[in-house]
């Protein structure tokens, strides 16, 4: 038993001395961190900090007299095949002089393996190039975004100038076409407003829609639901159509209203500005009510006047 204690004490002394020597020999290329019976040796003969190899070592109680250190290797560029070659080389180094401290010899042997560090350098350069490519792409994307922002700004300024001119032309066209605007109706912050124009052809419908959409407020509505009904005297038939503008079935309901009141030669557009609260079926009721109100006001509902009132000059 005294002999075993003596061996253990000698091994511990050898371990401490070996770690002190390693710490005194290696500078930036290799660092040693001790924690009880383990240490870490970071080996890096290259300038690239991310290409180092970490040798983690556990020292058994009977190292170096009887047992070799238990070692692990860590490096992001280390392949399984390369790792196996390093293990074999380290085993050969230890077998050359068993029973003697081996950490210094292992470290030096690893540093001298040119093929190992060529692989590390190749990995580092590939990673650097990938990072440069990413940086170049980000720079290009930033330039594209800045160019896009400038283009959007230029277009916005051009649009504002053009929109002002178009809106003025639209107001003039509204006057010529005698477009009437009904009173807005608000429910839960959603606003509904009807617009009416007398039309006698599909060209009249198109011109009236262009005049209305030249108005930025109307053009910015969530929906502009439209229906028209034109009586064709020669064939005693009707030219009629509708547009939901995203409000499903609303255009058909609006056209149905024109049919049941027998409105003729008229186009009705109901603008809706969504207020953030879903109204459910109430929205159709509001569309119908504002449309009926403007039809009645302009004399397009039978029984509300002998003849439809002219809308010329009745813009509100």
- Tell me which residue has tokens 């959603």: 190
Which of 74, 101, 120 corresponds to the end of one domain?
Answer: 120
Q: Does residue 102 belong to any structural domain of this protein?
A: yes
Q: Are residues 6 and 111 in the same domain?
A: yes
Q: What is the pLDDT of residue 57?
A: 87
Determine the 3-state secondary structure of 161 from DSSP.
Answer: helix
CB 103 within 8 A of CB 70: no
pTM over 0.85: no
Nearest to 206 by CA among 241, 231, 167, 238: 241
Could you read off the pLDDT tens digit of each residue along the chain, which spans 316 residues?
444 444 578 888 888 888 888 778 876 555 665 556 777 888 887 776 677 888 888 889 888 999 999 989 998 888 889 889 999 999 999 999 988 999 999 999 998 888 888 888 888 888 888 777 776 676 667 666 776 677 766 666 665 555 666 667 767 777 788 899 999 999 999 999 999 999 999 999 999 998 888 888 898 899 999 999 999 888 888 999 999 998 988 999 999 999 999 999 999 999 999 988 888 899 999 999 999 999 999 998 876 544 554 444 444 4
Q: Does residue 18 belong to any structural domain of this protein?
A: yes
Which of 120, 154, 187 corresponds to the end of one domain?
Answer: 120
Q: Does residue 130 belong to any structural domain of this protein?
A: no
Q: Are residues 189 and 257 in the same domain?
A: yes
Q: What is the pLDDT of residue 172?
A: 75
Q: Which structural domain range is residue 188 located in? A: 178-297
| CATH number of the domain enclosing 206 | 3.30.230.30
Q: Are residues 191 and 274 in the same domain?
A: yes
Nearest to 202 by CA among 184, 229, 224: 229
| CATH number of the domain enclosing 6 | 3.10.110.10
Query: Residue 292 is encoded by which pair of tokens?
Result: 């009926």
Q: Are residues 183 and 113 in the same domain?
A: no
Q: Are residues 185 and 292 in the same domain?
A: yes
Q: Are residues 112 and 214 in the same domain?
A: no
SS3 assignment for 34-95 = EECCEEEEEECCCCCHHHCEEEEEECCCCCCCCCCCEEEEECCCCCHHHHHHHHHHHHHHHH
Q: What is the pLDDT of residue 305?
A: 47
Which of 120, 154, 186 corresponds to the end of one domain?
Answer: 120
User: Residue 208, by phi and psi: left (phi above 0), alpha (psi -120 to 50) or beta?
Assistant: alpha
Distance of alpha carbon 216 from alpha carbon 92, whole angstroms: 84
Q: Does residue 14 belong to any structural domain of this protein?
A: yes
Q: Are residues 186 and 285 in the same domain?
A: yes
Q: Does residue 309 belong to any structural domain of this protein?
A: no
Q: Are residues 193 and 291 in the same domain?
A: yes
Q: Does residue 218 belong to any structural domain of this protein?
A: yes
Distance of alpha carbon 207 from alpha carbon 312, whole angstroms: 15
Q: What is the pLDDT of residue 256?
A: 94
Q: Does residue 67 belong to any structural domain of this protein?
A: yes
Q: Are residues 116 and 220 in the same domain?
A: no
Specify the number of domains making up the chain: 2
Q: Are residues 285 and 189 in the same domain?
A: yes
Q: Does residue 129 belong to any structural domain of this protein?
A: no
Q: Are residues 197 and 263 in the same domain?
A: yes
Q: Are residues 80 and 183 in the same domain?
A: no
């Amino acid at each position: 038993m005294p002999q075993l204690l003596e061996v253990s004490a000698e091994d511990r002394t050898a371990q401490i001395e070996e770690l002190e020597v390693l710490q005194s020999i290696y500078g930036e290329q290799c660092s040693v961190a001790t924690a009880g019976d383990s240490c870490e040796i970071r080996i890096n003969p290259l300038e690239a900090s991310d290409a180092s190899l970490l040798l983690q070592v556990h020292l058994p109680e009977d190292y170096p007299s009887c047992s070799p250190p238990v070692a692990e290797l860590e490096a992001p560029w280390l392949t399984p095949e390369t790792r196996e070659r390093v293990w074999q080389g380290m085993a050969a180094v230890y077998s050359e002089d068993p029973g003697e401290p081996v950490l210094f010899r292992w470290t030096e042997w690893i540093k001298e393996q040119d093929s190992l560090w060529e692989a590390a350098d190749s990995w580092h350069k590939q990673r650097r190039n990938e990072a440069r490519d990413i940086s170049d792409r980000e720079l290009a994307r930033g330039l594209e975004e800045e160019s896009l922002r400038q283009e959007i700004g230029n277009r916005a300024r051009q649009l504002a100038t053009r929109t002002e001119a178009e809106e003025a032309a639209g107001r003039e066209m509204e006057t010529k076409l005698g477009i009437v605007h009904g009173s807005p109706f608000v429910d839960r912050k959603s606003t509904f407003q009807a617009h009416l124009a007398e039309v006698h052809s599909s060209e009249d419908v198109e011109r009236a829609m262009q005049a209305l959409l030249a108005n930025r407020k109307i053009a910015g509505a969530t929906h502009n639901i439209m229906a028209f009904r034109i009586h064709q005297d020669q064939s005693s038939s009707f030219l009629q159509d509708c547009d939901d503008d995203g409000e499903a079935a609303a255009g058909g309901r609006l056209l149905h209203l024109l049919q049941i009141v027998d409105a003729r030669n008229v186009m009705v557009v109901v603008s809706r500005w969504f207020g953030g609260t879903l109204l459910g079926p109430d929205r159709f009721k509001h569309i119908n009510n504002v449309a009926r109100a403007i039809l009645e006001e302009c004399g397009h509902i039978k029984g509300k006047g002998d003849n439809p009132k002219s809308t010329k000059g009745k813009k509100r």
